Structure 1
Amino acid sequence: MPAAWFFFGLTLAAVSVTGGGHFWGGCGLLALILLRVISLKSRRVLCTVLIGGGLFGGWLWLQQQQLDRWRLAMGAKQTQALEIRVQPDAMVVRGTSYYFVGRDQTHHDWVTVHGQLRTPHEQTTLQNVDRAMLWRVTGEISGILPATNFNQFDAARYWSHRRIVRSVKVTAVNSRSPSGATIWQYWSDWWHHWRSQLIHYCERLPGALSVYALGLFPGNKSVAFADEMQGMQQLGLLHLFAISGLHVVLLLTVLEWLAVRLHLPREWWEWGLFVCLPGYLILAGGGSGVLRACLMHGSQLLGKRCGYRLDRLTGWSIALVVGLIVNPGLLFELGGQLSYGLSLGLILWARESLVWRQLGLTLLSLPGILTAFFQWHVLTLLANWLVVPLFPSVILPLTVVGTVCFSWFPRVSVACSWLLGSFDQGLRMVGRLPGNILFGKPVWWIAWLWVVLTWQLFSRPVRARRLWLIGLFVIYSGMYGWNHWPVTGEVAYFDVGQGDSILWREPFNRRVSLIDTGGRLAFPQPTWATRAPVRYGAERTSINYLHSRGIHRIDDLYLTHHDADHIGDLPAFIKQMQIKRLLVPAGMEQEPSWQRGLHLSGIRVQPIKVGVALPVVVRHPYESAPAENANSLALQTQAGGLNFLFMGDLDRPGEQKMMAADSQLRTDVLKLGHHGSKTASAPAFIQQLRPRLAIISAGRDNRYGHPNPETLTTLAQAHLPALSTQTSGMIRYVYRGNWGQWQTKLGGRP
């Protein structure tokens, strides 16, 4: 019985991986499972695995066909009137916008919905909704945009795993009214109502207590979660939230204690707990850790009432099976990987010493953490050894006491918040100590190999494990070297929306140069809008990519001019990257507006113009002037057998100056000036340069209409092929020596 459930769960996991994007990895895992099952010589287990895996695979295929019918092509949009049912705890209000996930009553599928708040009354109304509502709206329906830069978080895949493939941008709200409900919906709505009340209550808690309470009880991450948990992330301790179905265990223990003290019949309260667990799953947000804990305890309770004693491994296996049916993409998420992987490690390594168990959990979590965050701290093992015991004995009780006492004894809550905040501050201080390793993103099959070898390590006698540890260290070191000293170089045009950001990285990372940072214009917010922490787009795009390649140093950061769409994300680079020098067009160094806080970083600012000796050739400007479009930097370089010219936002008069200064000016790859505006890229300029490829960096549906049809006509008349970040996403030229290859994130070739 335990073996059948265990291998059945692993088979479903392999089938899910195969159909979810890692075909060859899933097939390899499936082959290993089948070989192991065959070696058991049990027909029952083999039949369970084959039949169950086949049925699950067929069900996934049918689900995918349904999603494909709903899915819209990239760029396709439809304007429709819709009725959307939304739960009160799904509503998120940030600044002047709102967002939620609701159910389309016409197509009976789930959709993401976002819109703009117009009045403070509307903001207050949405923040105080406490019941399921039926929204009748007119909206623009589109597909969910996938990751447009390499190694970027893929929202389309994330939502697809939750069977959501459409997004609605609300253009008009026709009405909002309480929604009717069936018996099942009424039961579900009741729990969602209380979850929304719990979220509102936790949001009123002071400081760090609010962050912990929101994360542990309703499973809601506040806007301050990332900042508050920075130390935990750096030290690899976020798995405490992933496997922390601890509060489920605590709740069940307290309820059992009360039932025994009240002399209630065991049969009554055990059945009561089993019936209430699905409701508590809703109340706690249905996260991976809570889902696994509820399923494990629910299966064991049901087994006990039905006369079957299920061990922890069987409970884990049943939880995996049901979890994959509820969310087939469970194992593609870091929370699911950590929750199920580490809980399995705790079960199988229960007899190991504390040191070996903590080492095993660290090694087991490391592939997922490196794949998601690209970095690891050498103090992680020590931090796990010290902090993990504190979590159930100190952190969780402090959070419970502070949350419960807030209404009657607020000073107790303030004290608990101070203690939790001090704990976080201590973790941040430890995280800042030397030892944080920017590893880079591992190749997917290498990450899988690490996981397999970790399990194999603990199947060996303690005395034989040293050699396996050395082997793991060698493979980790090899992957580190592959990331940090790649044999190829690249020229990459990031998709940063309506802006510019370009990377030039030489082979072995001998020199890393960046042209512009990207950014966006900041529009004033009304006084009634809730304030949110500043977030820079570069953290999700260019900085994320640099970290994924193991790059923490930028030798030369060129700022072409002072517009926000070119330098707006500079503060993020100053905070997260080591920058040796900033190079700006002559005259820009005298402008104080963009240099706030720059003097504290100690970064040298160097003004440049034509004639200055640099690793790149400066083609513009010729004299010192205000750093506007007319004085934008134009830079030229050679890489991989091609000549690249980067025009910034330089307009046609600047192009005329360049042609007059050098009548023999040529290039192979031209990054069009000013995002393809008609104020740049004059036909005479294109004719003289004779480029073989044009690159356009512009945002989708931008308000300026870039690239301009006149510019596209100029390119067509010159028979010049073009790639645009609007349709191709990130564009990069990866080279070695004088040979290279063009790659685009969303498809398309020169």
Structure 2
Amino acid sequence: MEKLTAKLFLKETSQITQLTSLSGMWVYLALTASLLSFLILSVNMYSLVLSTVFGIRLILTRQRLVITSCLFLFLSFGCFFFYVHNQTVKGLQLKNEVVSNCLILVQPDTVEVDGQSLKFRAVITESGEKIKVNNWLRTKEEHDYFLNLDDRVCLKVSGELTSISVKRNLGAFDYKKYATEQGVYRQLKVDEILSKSKDKSFSPIGIIRSCRAKINRYITKNYPTTTASYLKSLFIGVKDHEFKANQNQLSRLGILHFFSISGMHVYFFLALLGYGLRSIGLFPEDIYGLEISFLLLFLGLTGFSTSVGRSVFYIAILKSVQRFRLTLSPLDAWSLALLFSLVINPYLLLTAAGQLSFGLTAYIIFLAPIIQKQVSQRMELLVFSVVLSILSVPIVAFNFFEWQIGSLLLTVILMPFFSFVLMPSLLGLLIINLVMPIGSVLNEFDAILSKGQEVLFKLNNLDSFHIVTGKLPLIVVGVAIVISIIWLSKVRPSFWFSVICLVGMVAVISGFKYCDPRGMVAFVDVGQGDGLVIKRPFNRGTIIVDTGGKLEVKNPAIEGWKKGSGKSSEVNYDIIPVLKSLGVASIDAVFITHGHIDHFGNLPMVAQQFKIKKLIYPEGTKNQSLFNELSKTLKNKKIPQVEVLAGTKWNFSEYQLTALAPLVAGKGDNDNSLVLKTKIKDKSFLLMGDLEKTGEEMLVRRYADLKTDILSTGHHGSKTSSNDFFINRVRPTDAIISCGVANHFGHPNQETLENLAKVNARVFRTDQQGMIYCTWTPFSSKLSQAKTVMLSE
């Protein structure tokens, strides 16, 4: 028996040790596959240049085996990526269609119920197409059915399949791109669920999804809100409403990236498993198989997330190195993990999660020996965490347009806290509550956790620790990464060399916005509302005219189970990402045209994330109760407020704003809107707010010259504004209509469109074209032609 075991071991070893012939060189293969993914799936000049440089460096190695292996991988991965690209192109070409009696297989671990809103992922059984499903629940029975759904079911439905919407604003989260990378190209709006049946087909992935859904439902029902949110996000990778509501706060702190890409819970659970198996007397060779099986199972239970996948593959490779006595280095293990991950998700390195997860792991591999050689053991964790946070700045800033200085120290505190306090506590509570109910203990723990989270989030109010970088060109990010590589390439970098490299890298990232000569006028798509941003060149100042805001339609019938969480993150997809992508950290002035919520509703969030130097609005606006309450709140935050009337002027160097209305204090409604006129370079602007026909007639009587190049039409294109007489006097070249997609008010009205057509005005609509913007530089005498996000990108 021993001889047979020895022979099997030798056979396994001889097969696996073929890997060692490329020991130290696997990184070349990983880089080959990575560059191929950029070249084929995201063609740009930079990937072509990098590929050329890499090819020359590969030839200079003069390692025949390495070059041959890279060539073979180039051909095999190239064919694979071309296949993926072609499938993506075909998916994006799928047409909108109405379907009836369509059978779809629900993925139970993706079901989200929020009041009457239902969302989940599914597969069309006939074609195998992955889709996103949206439904409006009509009865409490339907609501309860999906709320408790934790098994695979087939639904027969009727509805409409449509393509997923593209992003509507610069800097906004691109959900279409995100969905495409996951192989989802269309969404189904369900009109009616015709029948439900349990899926009886055998599918290992389906069984794992059902288990994941059951665990999710159990945690939701048996644990308080905050504790449940952490349990679900850490143990099964589910991000619930609570997590999504706090996501922006975590991101601003700079710890969301650390929290989501570390994969440290994989190490925690594996260490716990290993300790348990060793304590019952199992040998290492027996433990190895159980550990690998556990890792693969855990990967499935966490939804095959990027960070867990990287951790699982990396740990599995290192365990195999120990088991079969291979000579692969940590960098080789990282390279193999990257190759495996690219096979599972070819778009991996085009995502923020992939870049952060594999980028920071690579930094850790190179950084660890440098820190160990030059820093005392007592200071090792502190220095390591701070330097790693600095090295992450280019990737974080490129994807999120900002970084938090406080994150340098927060990671030092949170790393041991998560590893030695939070994870063991959550696991302990999960196990104990399975055996016997401990409701009072859970409530106390939840209160402490919620309080700690609240204290942590208050750090976001410290503006001096928050750096907004704006959207960075790839070349700038590349320069910063090259600086980091130069530093890491030194075996024993001197103190001053380290300071120069690390500070220089951060300076390049943080200071680029002050070198950008472009100014911008942006009519932001804020849905059914108004929002205008004017940013001066070289980031010398920014103003906002209205912030947009969700107009709530009160419906007394929406109560009980129909009422959703109310935790909407709409603002984060509208004006705030635009400001951050432009590098705005403070706002010189916020102008609110009048006291209706669709013009100021997002102001509290803007005030929370940006320093506002002055808030300006017409006299009488505080007669609107909601605005009056907000005014008091902002006054307590020491934001200066100024009430104005027609004739007031503001000088912003490159342009001057003049108020044309209102003439007297009013009620703060549409007819008391603040009307502003300005000229930037060769183009004049007239911003109408929600001024209606009575106000327009007053403007025509009072001002002889109202001719303008770009008109922001009044009241979202409603027929109560933009009357024929007024439009003939203004005669705009371009007319901007800010309104929501398929809004309930029917804006813009056909009469308004006809009046604009009579003067041959080009009409731009945010509901059809997304954000509309013009740019200029100090070196030109002209403002650019209007561009639109949905058609220009």
Same fold per superposition (TM over 0.5): yes
What's the offset of the Cα at 1:392? 1.8
SS of aligned partner of 2:768: helix
The alignment's TM-score, normalised by the length of structure 1, stands at: 0.92
Work out whether residues 242 and 338 of structure 1, in 8 Å CA contact, stay in contact via their aligned partners in 2: no
The 5 A counterparts of 1:58-457 are 58-72=79-93, 77-81=96-100, 82-182=102-202, 185=203, 187-203=204-220, 204-225=222-243, 233-264=251-282, 267-301=285-319, 308=326, 310-353=328-371, 354=380, 356-407=383-434, 408=436, 410=438, 411-414=440-443, 416-418=445-447, 420-421=449-450, 423-428=452-457, 432-433=461-462, 435-441=464-470, 442-457=472-487
What's the offset of the Cα at 1:227? 5.6
Q: Please name the residue that 2:761 is paired with.
A: 720
Q: Cα 1:192–1:261, aligned 2, differ >3 Å: closer, same or farther?
A: same
Q: Structure 1: give runs of 5+ residues left out of the alignment.
A: none
Distance 2:44 2:495 in 1: 32
Say whether 1:501 aligns with 2:531: yes
Q: Which range moved further: 395-404 or 625-634?
A: 625-634
SS of aligned partner of 2:615: strand
**Counterpart AA for 1:611:** G
What's the offset of the Cα at 1:340? 1.5
What's the offset of the Cα at 1:501? 0.6
SS of aligned partner of 2:744: coil
What's the offset of the Cα at 1:225? 2.1
- 1:86-117 deviation per Cα after TM superposition (whole angstroms, max 9, x unaligned): 12211011232011111122331211111111
- 1:385-427 deviation per Cα after TM superposition (whole angstroms, max 9, x unaligned): 3332333222221221122222325255445445544553553
What's the offset of the Cα at 1:195? 1.0
Distance 2:274 2:418 in 1: 22
State the identity %: 27
**Counterpart AA for 2:728:** Q
What's the offset of the Cα at 1:309? 5.8
What's the offset of the Cα at 1:128? 0.6
SS of aligned partner of 1:713: helix
**Counterpart AA for 1:382:** L
Work out whether residues 377 and 435 of structure 1, in 8 Å CA contact, stay in contact via their aligned partners in 2: no
SS of aligned partner of 2:58: helix
Q: Cα 1:51–1:714, aligned 2, differ >3 Å: closer, same or farther?
A: farther
Work out whether residues 223 and 533 of structure 1, in 8 Å CA contact, stay in contact via their aligned partners in 2: no
Distance 1:300 1:562 in 2: 62
- Which of 529, 543, 546 is equivalent to 1:516? 546
Work out whether residues 517 and 538 of structure 1, in 8 Å CA contact, stay in contact via their aligned partners in 2: no
Say whether 1:746 aligns with 2:789: yes
**Counterpart AA for 1:714:** N
Q: Cα 1:192–1:243, aligned 2, differ >3 Å: closer, same or farther?
A: same
Distance 1:266 1:469 in 2: 44
Q: Which range moved further: 340-349 or 480-489?
A: 480-489
Work out whether residues 652 and 682 of structure 1, in 8 Å CA contact, stay in contact via their aligned partners in 2: yes
Q: Please name the residue that 2:727 is paired with.
A: 686
Q: Please name the residue that 1:607 is paired with.
A: 643
Q: Cα 1:474–1:346, aligned 2, differ >3 Å: closer, same or farther?
A: closer
**Counterpart AA for 2:242:** A
Q: Cα 1:648–1:189, aligned 2, differ >3 Å: closer, same or farther?
A: same
Q: Which range moved further: 731-740 or 225-234?
A: 225-234
Distance 2:772 2:428 in 1: 52
**Counterpart AA for 1:198:** I
- 1:182-239 deviation per Cα after TM superposition (whole angstroms, max 9, x unaligned): 3xx1x22222222112212332323543232111101112222256577754443334
Distance 2:54 2:91 in 1: 34
What's the offset of the Cα at 1:500? 1.0
The 5 A counterparts of 1:439-478 are 439-441=468-470, 442-464=472-494, 466-467=496-497, 469-474=499-504, 476-478=506-508
Q: Please name the residue that 1:673 is paired with.
A: 714
What's the offset of the Cα at 1:468? 5.5
The alignment's TM-score, normalised by the length of structure 2, stands at: 0.87
What's the offset of the Cα at 1:273? 3.8
Larger helix share, 1 or 2 = 2
Distance 1:564 1:434 in 2: 27
Q: Which range moved further: 222-231 or 379-388?
A: 222-231
Q: Please name the residue that 1:13 is paired with.
A: 34
What's the offset of the Cα at 1:496? 1.2
Distance 1:748 1:101 in 2: 28
Q: Cα 1:635–1:86, aligned 2, differ >3 Å: closer, same or farther?
A: same
Work out whether residues 677 and 711 of structure 1, in 8 Å CA contact, stay in contact via their aligned partners in 2: yes
- 1:564-609 deviation per Cα after TM superposition (whole angstroms, max 9, x unaligned): 3222222222322323333333322233232224313223443333
Q: Cα 1:533–1:704, aligned 2, differ >3 Å: closer, same or farther?
A: closer
Q: Cα 1:494–1:121, aligned 2, differ >3 Å: closer, same or farther?
A: same
Work out whether residues 27 and 331 of structure 2, in 8 Å CA contact, stay in contact via their aligned partners in 1: yes
Q: Please name the residue that 1:28 is paired with.
A: 49
Q: Please name the residue that 1:647 is paired with.
A: 688
- 1:416-455 deviation per Cα after TM superposition (whole angstroms, max 9, x unaligned): 4455445535534555556412322232321232223212
Q: Which range moved further: 571-580 or 161-170?
A: 571-580
Distance 1:398 1:28 in 2: 50
Corresponding residue pairs, total: 744
**Counterpart AA for 1:127:** L
Q: Which range moved further: 460-469 or 88-97?
A: 460-469
Q: Cα 1:102–1:310, aligned 2, differ >3 Å: closer, same or farther?
A: farther
- 1:118-146 deviation per Cα after TM superposition (whole angstroms, max 9, x unaligned): 22221111011121111221122221112
SS of aligned partner of 1:462: coil
Distance 2:562 2:738 in 1: 32
Q: CA RMSD in A?
A: 2.8
Q: Please name the residue that 1:733 is paired with.
A: 774
Q: Cα 1:449–1:508, aligned 2, differ >3 Å: closer, same or farther?
A: closer
Work out whether residues 457 and 469 of structure 1, in 8 Å CA contact, stay in contact via their aligned partners in 2: no
Q: Where in structure 1 do 4 or more consecutive aligned residues deviate above 6 Å?
A: 303-307
SS of aligned partner of 1:112: strand
Work out whether residues 673 and 680 of structure 1, in 8 Å CA contact, stay in contact via their aligned partners in 2: yes
SS of aligned partner of 1:445: helix
Q: Structure 2: give runs of 5+ residues left out of the alignment.
A: 1-21, 372-379, 652-656
Say whether 1:695 aligns with 2:750: no
What's the offset of the Cα at 1:372? 3.3
SS of aligned partner of 2:789: coil
Distance 1:277 1:150 in 2: 39
Say whether 1:580 aligns with 2:613: yes
**Counterpart AA for 2:77:** F
Q: Please name the residue that 2:77 is paired with.
A: 56
SS of aligned partner of 1:698: coil
Q: Cα 1:486–1:350, aligned 2, differ >3 Å: closer, same or farther?
A: closer
